Structure 1
Amino acid sequence: MSKLISSFHPNTGARDRAAVGVFTPRAAALFVVTGIGLFYYFQHEKQKLLEQRQKELESRSVGRAHVGGPFSLTTHDNTPFTEKDLLGKWSLVYFGFTNCPDICPAELDKIGAVLTSLEKDYGTIFRPVFISVDPARDSIPQMKRYLSDFHPRIIGLTGDYATVKSTCKAYRVYFSTPPDADPAGDYLVDHSIYVYLMDPRGEFVEAFGQSSTPEEVVERVRKEVAAYEQETGTKV
């Protein structure tokens, strides 16, 4: 019996209470506050890291790609058109072909939607251009008929194979039309799918891929127009 009683010695209870004494309400509150502080500290450090990475990405993208250059083509209204005709306005340049079943019509419709949205605020400071990568079939009359279904200010450009190839090379555009293509042939043309934004100085600004929505293009163009006006102190 004495052994059983000694197992419940008062000192044992004191030691147990001392062991759990660190978890007093005050200590618990301090623990919670410390935890919250650490949480916000790490969130802050994470945000700083993200901002630093974003700045690094922006600094790497400052340089502009060398896109564009001299060319001499003919419009769908049978008038000469060179790279100098792009100067003074913001240009949206797209390369495609009139026998394209779906992608080219969708991209030209996108350009039309972008123009309709932007010109409400800016007026006609934009010059939309559609350059054919299928010179064998895209004659001037064919370009004129084709573009009648799209935004009325889109300018269609075509020329001989060598001139078209040179223009595509300047804009880093790939196309698969062979130099000896049959004008009556039933073939498709594989080509790059980008809408190029060029500023009023004729300098490349951005390339919008097929996945870019009209809203995204409009937002980016607005940003670039504002930056250009701030940089040059002029409005187009």
Structure 2
Amino acid sequence: MNRSTTRTIAILSTCVLAAVVGLTAWAAFGPKSETQCAGTNVAGGTSTIGGPFELVNEAGVSVTDADVFTKPTILYFGYTFCPDVCPMDSLRNAEALYLLQEQGYDAQAAFITVDPARDTPEVVAQFTELFHPDMIGLTGSEAQVKAASQAYKTYYKLNKETPDDEFYLVDHSTFTYFVMPETGFVDFFKRDDTPEQMAERVGCFIDSAT
């Protein structure tokens, strides 16, 4: 092997190494796709979750999903009389939202009650104000709430011992959803996801959309 051949091999090796390093860096720090942002695969795809709804906001005004999801939104279904899970989840969601806003993201949270009989617009307003000023409270008729719940594949069941029981509890699913304007549902979070993990994934989705 002559000196010229050796030099050519060395140059090619350097180029290949630089390309590998560049691709590795791009994969680690470059723009990410929505697939890379997602924490869990959704059976049937994301298009199977979410959809149009009509509810009532904290001011008592009828609103649609288009009115609500004007910015990236962390969405939760629960009820204000919930003794433990809903307050804890709402606090976690609020902390994730605070982290996102501190990082410069324009996002919000929304709370849809599954107990519209007790959760009037005034009640959900008081509840959401406890956690974050940019958490929207939503209620509605039983039919409206049921339609929204079914759109997001959530479960809830009222546990009334008697028809006039005022202190009943409600069994319900505890997933938190992430919804983007126009796009709709893109991901969901489990109860063991931390505020930091949520903020990281939500920020990833927002970045990938810009």
Tell me which interval the TM-score lies in, with the shorter structure as reference length: 0.7 to 0.9
Do structure 1's residue 220 and structure 2's residue 197 form an aligned pair? no
2:64 alignment partner in structure 1:
82
Amino acid at match of 1:118: L
User: C-alpha separation between the residues in 2 aligned to 1:153 and 1:224?
Assistant: 19
Output the TM-score relative to the length of structure 1: 0.66
Residue 144 of structure 1 pairs with residue 125 of structure 2: yes
Per-residue CA deviations over 1:99-137 (Å, capped at 9, x if unaligned) read 0011100111111111111112224x2131100000111
Superposed CA RMSD: 2.4
1:63-100 Cα shifts (integer Å, max 9, x gaps): 42421111111112222221112444101110000000
C-alpha distance 214-186 of structure 1, shift in aligned 2 (>3 A): same
- CA distance, structure 2, for counterparts of residue 139 and residue 78 of structure 1: 8
Identity of aligned residues (%): 35
Equivalent residue, structure 2, for 1:30: none
Contact 1:194 1:210 in 2 (8 A): yes
Cα-to-partner distance string for 1:157-196 (whole Å, 9 max, x where unaligned): 00111111111000101000279x9576211101110110
Letter in 2 for 1:84: A
Q: Residue 207 of structure 1: SS of its match in structure 2?
A: strand
Identify which of 108, 112, 123 aligns with 2:94: 112
Q: Any unmatched runs of 5+ in structure 2?
A: 1-34
Larger Rg: 1
User: Which structure has greater helix proportion?
Assistant: 1
Other structure's SS at 1:201 match: coil
> TM-score, length-normalised on structure 2?
0.73
Which structure has more strand as a fraction of its residues?
A: 2
Structure 2 SS opposite 1:185: coil
Q: How many residues align?
A: 170
SS in 1 for 2:115: coil
Q: 1:207 aligns with which of 188, 197, 202?
A: 188
Q: Distance in 2 between matches of 1:139 and 1:87?
A: 21
Structure 2 counterpart of 1:52: none
Q: Which residue of structure 2 aligns with residue 36 of structure 1?
A: none
